[in-house]
Structure 1
Amino acid sequence: MTKSDFVLGGTAAMGAVVFTNPIDVVKTRMQLQGELAARGTYVKPYRHLPQAMLQIVLNDGLLALEKGLAPALCYQFVLNSVRLSVYSNALELGYLQNADGSISFYRGMFFGALGGCTGTYFASPFYMIKAQQHAQAVQSIAVGFQHKHTSMMDALLHIYRTNGISGFWRAALPSLNRTLVASSVQIGTFPKAKSLLKDKGWITHPVLLSFCAGLSSGTLVAVANSPFDVLTTRMYNQPVDEKGRGLMYKGLVDCFTKIWRTEGIHGMYKGFWPIYFRSAPHTTLTFVFFEKLLHLRDRYVFSQRRN
Structure 2
Amino acid sequence: MPPKEPPKERYIPNALKFAFGGGAGMAATCVVQPLDLIKTRMQLGGGNLSSFKVASEIIAKEGFFALYTGLSAGLLRQATYTTSRLGVYNWLFDSYKQNYGGTPGFGIKAALGVAAGSVGAFVGTPAEVALIRMTADGRLPKEQRRNYKNVVDAILRIIKEEGVLKLWRGATPTVIRAMVVNAAQLGTYSQAREWFVGIVPDGIQLHFCASMVSGLVTTIASMPVDIIKTRIQNAAKGQSQLSVVTSILRNEGVFSLWKGFLPYYTRLGPHTVLTFIFLEQLNTVYFKFY
TM-score, with structure 1 as normaliser = 0.85
* Residues in 2 aligned to 1:159 and 1:60: alpha-carbon distance in whole angstroms: 24
Q: Deviations over 1:192-222 (max 9, x none)?
A: 0000111xx2112321101100000000111
* Residues in 2 aligned to 1:89 and 1:276: alpha-carbon distance in whole angstroms: 28
* Residues in 2 aligned to 1:137 and 1:97: alpha-carbon distance in whole angstroms: 51
Quickly say closer, same or farther: Cα 1:138–1:112, change in 2 above 3 A.
closer
Moved over 6 A (4+): 96-99
* Residues in 2 aligned to 1:52 and 1:195: alpha-carbon distance in whole angstroms: 38
Residue type at the aligned position of 2:282? L
Where does residue 179 of structure 2 map in the other structure? Answer: 180
Q: Deviations over 1:49-100 (max 9, x none)?
A: 222222211211111000100011010121111111122223333449987x
1:4 has 2:31 as partner: no
Residue type at the aligned position of 1:289? F
Where does residue 8 of structure 2 map in the other structure? Answer: none
Where does residue 39 of structure 1 map in the other structure? Answer: none
Aligned length in residues: 277
Of 151-160 and 210-219, more deviation after overlay is shown by 151-160
TM-score, with structure 2 as normaliser = 0.89
State the secondary structure of the residue aligned to 1:53. helix
Quickly say closer, same or farther: Cα 1:23–1:96, change in 2 above 3 A.
farther
Q: 2:78 aligns with which of 76, 79, 86?
A: 76
* Residues in 1 aligned to 2:211 and 2:261: alpha-carbon distance in whole angstroms: 18
Structure 1 residues 8-23: aligned runs within 5 Å: 8-23=20-35
State the secondary structure of the residue aligned to 2:253. helix
Q: Aligned-pair distance for 1:31?
A: 0.7
* Residues in 2 aligned to 1:206 and 1:8: alpha-carbon distance in whole angstroms: 18
Structure 1 residues 115-264: aligned runs within 5 Å: 115-137=116-138, 146-198=145-197, 201-240=198-237, 246-247=238-239, 250-251=240-241, 253-264=242-253
Where does residue 93 of structure 1 map in the other structure? Answer: 95
CA contact (8 A) 1:67 1:134 kept: yes
State the secondary structure of the residue aligned to 1:149. coil
Where does residue 59 of structure 2 map in the other structure? Answer: 57
* Residues in 2 aligned to 1:85 and 1:171: alpha-carbon distance in whole angstroms: 23
* Residues in 2 aligned to 1:86 and 1:96: alpha-carbon distance in whole angstroms: 15
CA contact (8 A) 1:20 1:282 kept: yes
CA contact (8 A) 1:95 1:107 kept: no
Residue type at the aligned position of 1:117? S
Q: Which has the higher helix share?
A: 2
Quickly say closer, same or farther: Cα 1:146–1:49, change in 2 above 3 A.
same
State the secondary structure of the residue aligned to 1:7. helix
Residue type at the aligned position of 1:31? Q
CA RMSD in angstroms comes to: 2.1
Where does residue 267 of structure 1 map in the other structure? Answer: 256
State the secondary structure of the residue aligned to 1:136. helix
Identical amino acids, percent of aligned pairs = 30
Residue type at the aligned position of 2:223? S
* Residues in 2 aligned to 1:20 and 1:189: alpha-carbon distance in whole angstroms: 21
* Residues in 2 aligned to 1:300 and 1:77: alpha-carbon distance in whole angstroms: 25
Q: Deviations over 1:99-157 (max 9, x none)?
A: 7x454111111111111111111111100010001012166xx69x7433232222112
